[in-house]
């Protein structure tokens, strides 16, 4: 297996790690941050609420412009499918204002969003060490790991199936009011040609920093019919999908959870036997329901 990325992770449908390297290292992550922003929007805002963009960068290749009024649902499509930065920022401001109105707080609507996103990621998702300062992923301040973003996408698949579906759609038509009064057809950044290389792809989000650092988080269907979730962190854009292909091939060729690291105490993989791995006499052993660890030795229960 040749993967050029700095880190990667794959987990199976039960959450077991099947391939990993540097999975807990924190990265900038770029536009993969929009996955968290849209998860937050799904939690706090109705999909038919109209939000008005108050800022836009006319020098970037985005769709949303200042004064556009777009539904939360369509803004999520724009953020997840074509990675529109101002769609993500508009969602974040909408969430922040909603929180200021209903729960109080200090600072601007964007400040309030970042505070809540940081808190929810810790308390609801179990993240630690993360930094959230940009809902779109622009700038260099965000920090999160492959394990964190993979866990989020796996959660979205079961918690918000509608959002998971959006992350896998090939095309969608957005309605824009507020002056422009138009519709706009969009296509997923992981398009048809890429899906020929990755036919197992079901949903996902890319991230790219200045055409140099590339990221991908995605869910894919294993040949056994189950859904895996994976991430590639910090590779070159030209290698992004080749790395994803190599990771999936490795998981397919080497089925089953990774063995525990010597000395590490971890739950035994599901479906094998009830118990835990322990290090006894320098070797990994299993405590079964008929054994107990006493004084560093395994003893049968009497």
What DSSP string runs through 179-218? SS-EEEEEE-SS-HHHHHH-TTEEEEEEEEETTTEEEEEE
Residue 112 pLDDT greater than 50, yes or no? yes
Let me know whether 159 and 137 are in one domain. Answer: yes
* CA 78 to mean position of chain CA atoms: 17
Q: How confident is the model at residue 119 (pLDDT cuts 50, 70, 90)?
A: very high
- The token pair at 4 is 């050029």
Q: How many domains does the chain have?
A: 2
* Mean pLDDT value of segment 209-234: 94
Let me know whether 185 and 269 are in one domain. Answer: no
Cβ neighbors of 134 (< 8 A, separation 6 or more) are 33, 141, 142
Let me know whether 143 and 267 are in one domain. Answer: no
State whether the Cα torsion 208-214-218-220 is positive or negative. Answer: positive
196 in a structural domain: yes
235 is in which domain, residue-wise?
7-253
**Residues in the chain, how many?**
302
Contact at 8 Å (CB) between 44 and 95?
yes
> What is the predicted pLDDT for the residue at 37?
98
- The token pair at 13 is 């449908």
Let me know whether 184 and 276 are in one domain. Answer: no
Percent of the chain with pLDDT over 70: 83
Let me know whether 145 and 289 are in one domain. Answer: no
Residue 299 pLDDT greater than 70, yes or no? no
Let me know whether 220 and 302 are in one domain. Answer: no
1 in a structural domain: no
Let me know whether 178 and 275 are in one domain. Answer: no
Where does a domain end: 217, 238, 253?
253
- 17-21, 62-66, 169-173, 259-263, range with the lowest pLDDT: 259-263
* Mean pLDDT value of segment 63-91: 95
Let me know whether 221 and 88 are in one domain. Answer: yes
pLDDT in tens, 254-291: 877 765 554 444 443 343 343 555 555 555 565 565 55
CATH code for position 15: 3.40.710.10
pLDDT in tens, 42-51: 999 999 999 9
Let me know whether 271 and 248 are in one domain. Answer: no
84 in a structural domain: yes
136 in a structural domain: yes
> What is the predicted pLDDT for the residue at 161?
98
Q: Which is higher by pLDDT, 228 or 262?
A: 228
- The token pair at 138 is 């622009």
Let me know whether 301 and 211 are in one domain. Answer: no
> What is the predicted pLDDT for the residue at 255?
77
2 in a structural domain: no
Q: How confident is the model at residue 212 (pLDDT cuts 50, 70, 90)?
A: confident
Let me know whether 288 and 165 are in one domain. Answer: no
187 in a structural domain: yes
d(CA 246, CA 1): 6
Average pLDDT, the chain: 88
**Alpha helix stretches (DSSP H) within 21-125:** 33-44, 72-81, 85-103, 109-123
């Amino acid at each position: 297996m040749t993967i050029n990325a700095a880190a990667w992770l794959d987990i199976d449908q039960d959450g077991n790690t099947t391939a990993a390297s540097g999975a807990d290292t924190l990265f900038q992550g770029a536009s993969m941050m929009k996955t968290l922003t849209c998860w937050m929007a799904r939690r706090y805002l109705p999909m038919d609420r109209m939000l008005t963009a108050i800022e836009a960068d006319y020098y970037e290749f985005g769709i949303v412009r200042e004064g556009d009024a777009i539904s939360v649902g369509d803004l999520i499509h724009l953020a997840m499918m074509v990675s529109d930065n101002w769609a993500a920022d508009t969602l974040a401001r909408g969430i922040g204002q909603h929180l200021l109105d209903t729960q109080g707080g200090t600072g601007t609507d964007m400040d309030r969003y970042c505070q809540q996103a940081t808190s929810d990621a810790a308390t609801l998702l179990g993240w630690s060490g993360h930094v959230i300062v940009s809902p779109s992923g622009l700038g260099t301040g965000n920090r999160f790991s492959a394990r964190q973003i993979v866990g989020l996408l796996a959660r979205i698949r079961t918690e918000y199936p509608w959002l998971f579906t959006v992350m896998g759609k090939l095309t969608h038509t957005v309605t824009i009011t507020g002056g422009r009064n138009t519709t706009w057809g969009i296509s997923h950044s992981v398009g048809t040609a890429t899906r020929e290389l990755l036919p197992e792809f079901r949903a996902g989000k890319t991230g790219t920093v200045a055409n140099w650092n590339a990221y991908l988080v995605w869910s894919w269907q294993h040949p056994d019919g189950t859904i895996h979730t994976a991430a590639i962190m910090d590779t070159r854009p030209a290698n992004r999908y080749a790395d994803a292909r190599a990771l999936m091939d490795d998981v397919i060729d080497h089925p089953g959870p990774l063995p525990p690291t010597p000395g590490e105490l971890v739950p035994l993989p599901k479906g094998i036997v009830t118990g835990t791995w322990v290090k006894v006499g320098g070797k990994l052993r299993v405590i079964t329901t008929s054994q107990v660890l006493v004084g560093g030795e395994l003893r049968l229960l009497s």
